[in-house]
Chain A
């Protein structure tokens, strides 16, 4: 007669299980690479760790299977997203731990979170001797993280659509390209896979042109493309993109990380034939304006300090690092310490600001996002206009993002709240860096890089830094990638549950 109240953990457990199983299944790709290149020990590692992930994932699915049709609340959708990322990090770190390239499990978790959040700072040791299989896992993590692991699970593993949109939003993607979340998730993956084919081919050719043998160049091409598109910043060699000494590789990667930093809604609109959207969209306009200003400041700073001997060197180094920072990619053609020892305060300032501003909303990029920066500037403009006009005049605030949108107070408030949250995180990260003994400029640069999920490093992020700083950076990457709300929802949910007990 009376229905037993459902334990709300059960539907949550079901969806988290789906995400973990999808992540486990993703290990089939590095496993195949390891088998192709006869890396037997690496293959055994992947079979072992994949099985562990699938066992955990399938157990959680079985636990909540009967309740999967239950409607998730907004908070629960966000809990699924943030908890999946946390558990995903812990499990995805297993292959790294077995690889022998890390000094501690914390370092493994750091690199996984860095990969999944498309940040790109690393703790790995002896990267130049890493196996193909393990390298593939690094780039797969970046690629999945860029599009979103919940998005991946929504695409392939679940047919339930109740609460799907809430989980999708929980992963900081709120554009609805198609009427339901599952189809939107599929569109995101279709766009990414389409570019994967074109991009990998182009990068492969560029890497071959740089002198890497064809077979190996193919892997480098796919990896670099995955990293560029996801605005990740991982590269297969310890010298990052500098290793190739190739203008062609730099050009191809710039093209793809800029495209990757654009909103999926913009890609979808352009693929549907609305090419004018590129020129009209508030995010592309904001990106063009901030990029121009910051490139100018960086160039002036580098010129003032005589960092580079000629205009071409200055352009190649200054422009590449800045665009890499602004799109939150983190590819580098200079050594980390060169920023601190050679670049001077003005260029460092410009790069730090660019990393905080970041790419577009609902893209693979991090940072404040162009949409919010655009809304904030538009608000200032409207307020100024309002002051000039007679009080009786109604002043409407409009932006163009896929369509003309009249901005509500709630949208403006939301933009200010998220940007403030990013700034607070940035300040906390800077303080943590200074407490660990690093000078302000270095601490601020690294904090901006971690907050914006960028990956450019000034040399702080290394296995030798205190464990506490590594943990602070891990939480910062997680918070910033999910844009705070999901992680806060998880915290509130856990507090509520412990409080009840």
Chain B
């Protein structure tokens, strides 16, 4: 019994401590935490991880990257062009973008960029390459769409005939 309790406590400690350990090891901060605690992180060196989405917006020697994390929001990264060039695939409807781990200085309201919230990256590494997203066409949807289209067109035909008939 004692052994069981000890094991349970050990397991519980492991479950509780594992995420903390992972966080400490990874050190990355989520977008929601950054936005909600922007004053606290302003001007600090931080690590941010996310999927590159949208486009790489090239500006002379730098580029804007948009990194989206799992919280349904994203953060803009101002990065030297050579760092941005590591990104091969950006996320959109047909692609899952490269996963990046970026470290740099977080700005709550960047003076260089008209008050935008951003991270000025000084290092970036691709942690996972992006991939294609295959959207298979659903056959039942196609068949029912075709059938419904026929019914719709027939009804529209009836409407036209009825309008013309009443005019005549």
Chain A contacts to B: CB under 8 angstroms: 21, 24, 39-42, 44-45, 47-48, 50-52, 54-55, 58-59, 61-62, 65-66, 98, 125-132, 210-213, 216, 237-239, 242-245, 247, 307-310, 312-314, 316-317, 333-335, 337-338, 341-342
The contact of A58 among B96, B158, B166, by CB within 8 Å, is B158
7 new A-B contacts, CB < 8 A, other than A51-B148, A128-B92, A337-B35, are A21-B156, A55-B148, A127-B72, A210-B57, A245-B113, A335-B35, A342-B39
Q: How far is the CA of A66 from the CA of B162 in the complex (A)?
A: 9
Minimum CB distance partner of A237 in chain B: B54
Q: Is the CB of B148 within 8 A of A48?
A: yes
Interface size class of B (residues with CB under 8 A): 35 or more
Q: Is the CB of B66 within 8 A of A335?
A: no
The contact of B149 among A21, A47, A308, A333, by CB within 8 Å, is A47
Given A211-B64, A317-B109, CB of A128 within 8 Å of CB of B54: yes
Find chain A residues with CB under 8 A from B137 CB.
40-41, 44
**How far apart are B80's CB and chain A's nearest CB, in angstroms?**
15
Q: Is the CB of A54 within 8 A of B155?
A: yes
Q: Is the CB of A128 within 8 A of B55?
A: no
Q: How far is the CA of A293 from the CA of B149 in the complex (A)?
A: 55
Find chain A residues with CB under 8 A from B73 CB.
238-239, 335
Interface centre among A51, A247, A312, A333 (most CB of B within 10 A): A51
The 6 closest A-B pairs by CB, nearest first: A313-B115, A211-B57, A51-B148, A58-B155, A48-B145, A128-B53
**How far apart are A488's CB and chain B's nearest CB, in angstroms?**
31
Minimum CB distance partner of A55 in chain B: B152
Q: How far is the CA of A61 from the CA of B163 in the complex (A)?
A: 10
Given A65-B163, A211-B63, A313-B115, CB of A307 within 8 Å of CB of B109: yes
Find chain A residues with CB under 8 A from B55 CB.
211-213, 216
**A/B interface sample: 22 pairs, CB < 8 A:** A40-B135, A44-B145, A47-B149, A54-B156, A55-B148, A55-B152, A58-B155, A58-B159, A62-B158, A66-B166, A128-B53, A211-B64, A212-B57, A216-B55, A237-B74, A242-B116, A245-B113, A313-B114, A317-B109, A317-B115, A337-B32, A338-B35
Q: Is the CB of A243 within 8 A of B66?
A: yes
**How far apart are B20's CB and chain A's nearest CB, in angstroms?**
25
Find chain B residues with CB under 8 A from A47 CB.
145-146, 148-149
Find chain A residues with CB under 8 A from B118 CB.
245
Q: Is the CB of A338 within 8 A of B135?
A: no
